[in-house]
Amino acid sequence: MMYDEQNIFARILRGEIPSEKLFEDDHVLAFMDIMPQVDGHCLVIPKKPSVGLLDADPTVFLPLFTAVQKLGNAVTTAFNADGVTIMQFNGSAAGQTVFHLHVHVMPRKVGVPVKPHSGKMEDIEIIKKNAALIRAALA
């Protein structure tokens, strides 16, 4: 599959679509998932284009997963979580819906199930509130 420069994450990286950013550096962008499956569900994407993990330039992995670890610790603190789910999908058969490499980071609490991916956008005020908690934990 060829990389589509018009995918939503490429457009977020170019500033064409707004996002609730958590942090950004020269290599990655972390932001809130607008269709969260748990409170605090966020995403980390590399700035270098790739469809998924299997076609990515291996040089993206260190900064990507360093950021995933940083964000995982922050969401655990921000949401007083018992653990963190980290997911990454490759190909539509595996559940990938946006064809730009991305990693889901979700704080988890014992007994609280993950909501199904419904395609329903969360209220922006809730997303902003959760983002503020994560940014505070990152500080």
Indicate if 104 belongs to the active site: no
| CA neighbours closer than 13 Å in the CB half-sphere of residue 135 | 13
Under 8 Å between Cβ of 52 and 90: yes
Residue 26 tokens read as: 């020269």
Tokens 């020269």 sit on residue: 26
Q: Which of 27, 41, 100, 102 is catalytic?
A: 102
Q: Which alpha helices (DSSP H) does the chain contain, by range? A: 8-13, 61-78, 124-138
Q: Which residues are catalytic?
A: 102
